[in-house]
Amino acid sequence: MTETSSHIPKKVDTKVIIKRSTIDQIMSERKKRKQMKEQMKRIQKKNKKIHIKLSLEHIVAIKKKQLNETARSNFLSKVMAKRPPRGFTEPVAVMLVRSSITATKEIKEILNGFGLRQPMETRIIVGTPENMTKLKIVNLYITYGPIHSETIRELIIKRGRIQIGDQEPIAITSNNIVKEAFSGKVDNIECIEDLVNEITQGKHFDEIFNILSPFIFSSEKFRNYRFNKLGGVTGLRVTGMDEWLLQRI
């Protein structure tokens, strides 16, 4: 009995082996996770430095651009004080073709004074020498030029919107809308044709400016929109503003 029992192999405790392998696996996974966390921290730290560097470079570029525009505006102001630009007897259409987000405070104030806040917005103003002086200062952001009654009529019929009280601007679809909007303010205006005549003759411009909303053009209408963003079409158009607008209505 004794000899037989001595030759029987001992049973291996499989539970101990499984438990040990499980512990090794857990420790290995923990080590990998720790290494990954450390690697992620290094990457985040590096990205943060890059982001800060890019942000600083962006701020410096904007400030440099603003300083250049300020110097240019000051120079133009001095030149135009000696020789102010001539005005136009016709109404002048002004379109904002570049965003003014990074513009100087002076330029933003002039654009806001003309009611131009978003690219592709267009206003009709009086072509006085004072207005021409202001437009000359902001001509890197706008395109402008004198227009005639036919163009004004097309703009009002196809892109015209009117502000009645505190309501949202509504499209000009009938003469009744025009009559209601100007009732008690400009009694001479009872239809679209009256509105065109008043703008062409330069009468009651302040009242019309406050009631007539900006004409909004879609960027899809501009085949050379990328060129516009670079400022390639900005500035004064002594002739051709009518044709340029009519092609994009």
For residue range 208-249, list pLDDT tens digits in order. Answer: 888 899 998 876 555 444 444 444 578 888 888 898 888 887
pLDDT of residue 2: 47
Mean pLDDT, residues 63-85 taken together: 64
Q: What is the pLDDT, as a whole number, of residue 225? A: 46
For the chain, the structural domain boundaries read: 1-83, 87-246
pLDDT score recorded for residue 230: 42
Tell me what percent of the residues of the chain surpass a pLDDT of 90.
16
Please give the residue that has the higher pLDDT: either 57 or 191: 191
Q: What is the pLDDT of residues 22-47, one digit of tens each?
A: 777 777 787 888 888 887 777 777 77
Quote the CA–CA distance of 89 and 125 in Å, as a whole number: 11
User: Model confidence at 1, in pLDDT bands (50, 70, 90)?
Assistant: very low
Determine if the pTM surpasses 0.85: no
The pLDDT of residue 95: 92
Of the candidate CATH numbers 3.40.50.720, 3.40.190.10, 3.30.1390.20, 3.40.50.1820, the domain formed by 87-246 belongs to: 3.30.1390.20
